[in-house]
Amino acid sequence: MDDRRAARAAAKRRRARRGAATATVSTVLVVVLVVWLIGSSPGWPDVRETFFSWEAFRTSFPEVLSGFWLDVKLFVIVELCVLVLGLVVALVRTTTSPALFPLRAFAAAYVDVFRGIPVILLVYLVGFGVPALAFEGAPSDPVFLGGVALTASYTAYVAEVYRAGIDSVHGSQRQAALAVGLTQGQAMRFVILPQAVRRVVPPLLNDFISLQKDVALVAILGPLEAFRVAQIEAASTFNYTPLLAAAMLYLCVTIPMARLVDVVQRRSRAA
Amino acid sequence: MTPVVEVRGVTKAYGDKPVLRGIDLAVHEHQAVALIGASGSGKSTLLRCIDLLDEIDDGDVLLDGEVITDPSVRPDRVRRRLGMVFQGYNLFPHLTVLQNIVLAPVRAHGTDREEARARALELLDRFGLADRAGDKPDRLSGGQQQRVAIVRALATRPRALLLDEVTSALDPELVGEVLALVRDLKVDGMTMILATHEMSFAAEVADEICFLHEGLIVERGAPERLFEAPEREETRRFLRRLLEAKRL
């Protein structure tokens, strides 16, 4: 018995070792092949000079980085606004009182419209449209207007995520909450919403990864954020390396966020 | 004396399917009434209507002599005076056992948090659950979860407890601990209405058995009388079928 057990364990170890070896070899092979393919392409020397110039990277990086702070600030503020406003829209949509019908209809229309317009279009419309109205005291700061456009678009998405979470909490939970004597509002606040929010953390974080990238869209309104700075640098030096520097900076925030999503998802599956 | 819970001519239909067809029932202080009958006979619906979780079509439900099925009565105020326990426990999974129990006293009754905690711990202790106070419900067995659900219903000192087939979702070996708790409550003098499939248990704790058939209480009486000498053909058939099922 013990012999067979040891033999099984040994076989299992062998399998694991062989698997790891195969994975390593195939990875190395693919990488070598890709590098060789790109390196042997006729245009590679030019591409290396215009996209991977260390010199251009070094000189442009500080400027791009300082532009990137604007992106960071913008998405932190927009994220917070979206979290709150999305919840408000979702809650409005879950109400049932007839008196609130206009509000409910408005929330539904809002989600339909703003989820259906490309973000870039929305940035254009708000960024150039609102100042064009020439209202007294109307905001004209492009960063602010870009932030408003992003908030409007992402609030629509996030409201739907929240709503899906609220719908996913089984009706028996609401029943039990009412049965102990809570009001409808208290049942939502203390019983349904806490469970709903826990369930939608992974999809919420996913939406925030895409928001982190989409802040670059305010570049079209002119403020000097990372992408815009990189564009200007690239245009003045005829070298595209600054764009690569900007891309790296975006990855620096999106990849940790993606890992966080993985962790949260694994944990919620375990629970 | 005014009954604690009184049901007068209550009817209820889901769509065009009648579920309750004129129920009359009075439950006095310290009395336990068991509702028996086949699935779909209306037992659960009747309990849900009393707790205002379902809306009745006709008739009245009274709590301590006050009509609670009047539209001007706020349902949450009524439910605070009643305790309801469900077949599927329905504990709040994101809260610990203790938090499950104190939520209603603190939020709905405005009880001081410390006082509510003390009362909850006392109840948990009494029913042998004190060591689970800090656990989330999914760490507990079905029997423990159902006992916690009963404690949660008791925490607000309800006038009556409505128990909706509280052992039906449990593994057979866990039924006993839940029934023992209900037995204790009966000894305490808790007013109870229980829908159940456990006939011997109903016979033991209930002062009166009501046999429901197709939305009507077709026969009622003291357990000895109803189980030993059922008068109605429907009752006899139901009890015979249960007996046959047990023999298999």
Output the 3-class SS for chain B: CCCCEEEEEEEEEECCEEEEEEEEEEECCCCEEEEECCCCCCHHHHHHHHCCCCCCCEEEEEECCEECCCCCCCHHHHHCCEEEECCCCCCCCCCCHHHHHHHHHHHCCCCCHHHHHHHHHHHHHHCCCHHHCCCCHHHCCHHHHHHHHHHHHHCCCCCEEEEECCCCCCCHHHHHHHHHHHHHHHHHCCCEEEECCCHHHHHHHCCEEEEEECCEEEEEECHHHHHHCCCCHHHHHHHHHHHHHHHC
**Does the residue A46 lie in any domain?**
no
Angle between helices B113-126 and B97-107 (to 10 degrees): 130
Give chain B positions within 8 Å (CB) of A177: 92
Residue B200, pLDDT score: 86
**Does the residue A182 lie in any domain?**
yes
Give chain A positions within 8 Å (CB) of B80: 180-181
What is the pTM (predicted TM-score) of this model?
0.83
Residue B107, pLDDT score: 94
Give the distance, in angstroms, between the CA of residue B112 and the centroid of all CA atoms in the same chain.
Answer: 27
Residue A222, pLDDT score: 77
Mark yes or no for CB contact A176/B79 under 8 Å: no
**Does the residue A85 lie in any domain?**
yes
Task: Return the H-helix or E-strand segment holding A43.
Answer: none
A143 and A264 both lie in a single domain: yes
**Does the residue A48 lie in any domain?**
no
| Tens of pLDDT, residue by residue, chain A (271 residues) | 678 899 999 999 999 999 999 999 999 999 999 999 988 888 888 888 888 888 878 888 888 888 888 888 998 999 999 999 999 999 999 888 888 999 999 999 999 999 999 999 999 998 888 888 877 777 778 889 999 999 999 999 999 999 999 999 999 999 999 999 999 999 999 999 999 998 898 899 889 989 988 988 888 887 778 888 888 888 888 888 888 888 888 898 888 888 888 888 788 776 6
Mark yes or no for CB contact A180/B104 under 8 Å: yes
A60 and A150 both lie in a single domain: yes
Q: Who has greater pLDDT, B116 or A52?
A: B116
- Written as six digits, the tokens of B209 are 């058995």
A264 and A145 both lie in a single domain: yes
A111 and A232 both lie in a single domain: yes
Give chain A positions within 8 Å (CB) of B94: 194-195, 198
Mark yes or no for CB contact B94/A176 under 8 Å: no
Residue A170 DSSP one-character state:
-
A113 and A202 both lie in a single domain: yes
Give the minimum alpha-carbon distance from A28 to chain B in angstroms, rounded to a whole number: 46
**Does the residue A60 lie in any domain?**
yes
Q: How confident is the model at residue B151 (pLDDT cuts 50, 70, 90)?
A: very high
Give the minimum alpha-carbon distance from B33 to chain A in angstroms, rounded to a whole number: 20
A93 and A211 both lie in a single domain: yes
Give chain A positions within 8 Å (CB) of B84: 179-180
How many Cβ atoms are within 10 Å of A236's Cβ, its own excluded?
10
Mark yes or no for CB contact B51/A179 under 8 Å: yes
Residue A1, pLDDT score: 63
| Interval B201-228 mean pLDDT | 93
Count of domains observed in chain A: 2
**Does the residue A4 lie in any domain?**
yes
Position A183, amino acid? T
User: Is this complex's ipTM strictly greater than 0.85?
Assistant: yes
Name the residue in chain B with its Cα closest to that of A184: B76
- Written as six digits, the tokens of B122 are 């006392």
A31 and A81 both lie in a single domain: no
The reply to whether A267 touches chain B by the CB within 8 Å rule is no
Choose among B80, B92, B153: nearest Cβ to A191: B92
- CB–CB contacts below 8 A, A to B: 62
Is there a contact between A180 and B152 (Cβ–Cβ < 8 Å)? Answer: yes
Whether residue B70 is predicted with pLDDT greater than 70 in this model: the reply is yes
Q: CB within 8 A of A15, min separation 6: which ones?
A: none
Q: Beta strand B17-27 with B32-36: parallel, antiparallel or unpaired?
A: unpaired
Preferred mutation among A96, A166, A170, A180 to probe B, highest tally of B CBs within 10 A: A180
A117 and A155 both lie in a single domain: yes
Residue B23, pLDDT score: 95
How many Cβ atoms are within 10 Å of B163's Cβ, its own excluded?
27
For each of the domains in chain B, give its residue range(s) and CATH number, in order of start. Answer: 5-88+162-247 (3.40.50.300)
Whether residue B53 is predicted with pLDDT greater than 90 in this model: the reply is yes
Position B113, amino acid? R
- Locate tokens 């500080």: which residue? A62
Mark yes or no for CB contact B104/A182 under 8 Å: yes
CA separation for the pair A218, A231 (Å, rounded):
13
The mean predicted confidence, pLDDT, of chain B is 93
Task: Return the H-helix or E-strand segment holding A86.
Answer: helix A54-94
Give the minimum alpha-carbon distance from A156 to chain B in angstroms, rounded to a whole number: 27
Choose among B88, B94, B107: nearest Cβ to A182: B107
A59 and A165 both lie in a single domain: yes
**Does the residue A157 lie in any domain?**
yes
Is there a contact between B67 and B233 (Cβ–Cβ < 8 Å)? Answer: no
Phi-psi region at B59: left, alpha or beta (left = phi > 0; alpha = psi -120 to 50): left
Q: How confident is the model at residue B97 (pLDDT cuts 50, 70, 90)?
A: very high
Where helices occur in A169-192 by DSSP H, the ranges are: 171-179, 184-186
- Written as six digits, the tokens of B35 are 């509702």
Residue-range definition of the domain harbouring residue A20: 1-40
Choose among B79, B93, B109: nearest Cβ to A179: B79
CA separation for the pair A234, A213 (Å, rounded):
20
**CATH code, domain with A66:** 1.10.3720.10
A225 and A258 both lie in a single domain: yes
The reply to whether A15 touches chain B by the CB within 8 Å rule is no
A118 and A7 both lie in a single domain: no
Q: Exposed, middle or buried: residue A249 (CB in 10 Å: 0-12, 13-18, 19+)?
A: buried
**Does the residue A171 lie in any domain?**
yes
**In the Cβ-directed half-sphere of B113, how many Cα atoms lie within 13 Å?**
2
A91 and A14 both lie in a single domain: no
Mark yes or no for CB contact B53/A180 under 8 Å: no
Residue A14, pLDDT score: 92
Q: Which of residues 197-236 of A touch B (CB under 8 A)?
A: 198
